[in-house]
């Protein structure tokens, strides 16, 4: 599916159709893992929005840092998290309470940068390690399910996960590179 990244820039409509047919189920699962299976309509909206975001952002995305599939799943997950936050915090808030101080805004921006750097570091691990970490920590999948998805033995998943986390720890702490 590597050709999708090139196709996304040359013939975006055709690429969108290919992405929809290849990744709709996986992207649905990414949103459902956050929202729960009972909110089918919200999940469908997150899935649609994720494909739309990637489609509209196709010129700005750096596909050398991650695959179309990874961007789609991460986008769907983030959209689902935002929906969940809105759902849970759907109470009326006074404007004074809603306005963040400059310190809170700066702190929030720093957290977003740290998250972005962490995702880049995870993607830098390469496959299948990056997929194993994403499936485990973003989608909360157990080793057996990850093993089925990747066609690897469950004990190998656990070993690779341990090694990948060690590499990631060194990488994020400014230690040696991969």
Q: Give the tens place of pLDDT for each residue, 118-135.
A: 777 777 778 888 888 877
- Residue 163 domain-assigned? yes
For 172, the 3-state DSSP assignment is helix
* Cα angle: 122, vertex 64, 83; to 5 degrees: 60
Domain co-membership, 172 together with 118: yes
pLDDT reported for residue 178: 47
Average pLDDT over residues 7-16: 83
Rg (CA), the chain: 18
What is the token pair recorded at 98?
């809603």
| Residues of the domain holding 121 | 107-178
Domain co-membership, 10 together with 67: yes
Average pLDDT over residues 88-107: 51
User: Which DSSP letter does residue 101 get?
Assistant: P
Domain co-membership, 16 together with 49: yes
Average pLDDT over residues 91-120: 54
- Residue 100 domain-assigned? no
- Residue 99 domain-assigned? no
pTM exceeds cut of 0.85: no
Q: CATH no. for residue 161?
A: 1.10.10.10
User: Can you tell me which residue has the tokens 């990874």?
Assistant: 70
Q: CATH no. for residue 73?
A: 1.10.1740.10
Domain co-membership, 86 together with 111: no
Domain co-membership, 85 together with 114: no
- Residue 5 domain-assigned? yes
């Amino acid at each position: 599916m590597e050709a999708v990244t090139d196709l996304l820039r040359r013939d975006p409509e055709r690429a969108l159709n290919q992405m929809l047919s290849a990744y709709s189920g996986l992207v649905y699962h990414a949103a459902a893992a956050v929202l729960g299976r009972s909110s089918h309509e919200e999940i469908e909206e997150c899935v649609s929005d994720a494909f739309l975001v990637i489609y509209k952002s196709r010129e700005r995305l750096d596909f050398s840092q991650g695959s179309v599939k990874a961007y789609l799943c991460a986008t769907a997950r983030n959209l689902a998290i935002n929906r969940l936050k809105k759902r849970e915090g759907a109470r009326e808030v006074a404007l004074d309470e809603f306005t963040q101080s400059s310190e809170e805004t700066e702190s929030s921006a720093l957290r977003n940068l740290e998250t972005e750097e962490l995702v880049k570091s995870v993607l830098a691990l390469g496959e299948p390690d990056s997929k194993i970490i994403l499936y485990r920590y973003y989608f909360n999948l157990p080793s057996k399910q990850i093993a089925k998805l990747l066609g690897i033995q469950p004990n190998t998943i656990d070993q690779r996960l341990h090694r990948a986390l060690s590499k990631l720890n060194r990488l994020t702490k400014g230690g040696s590179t991969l």
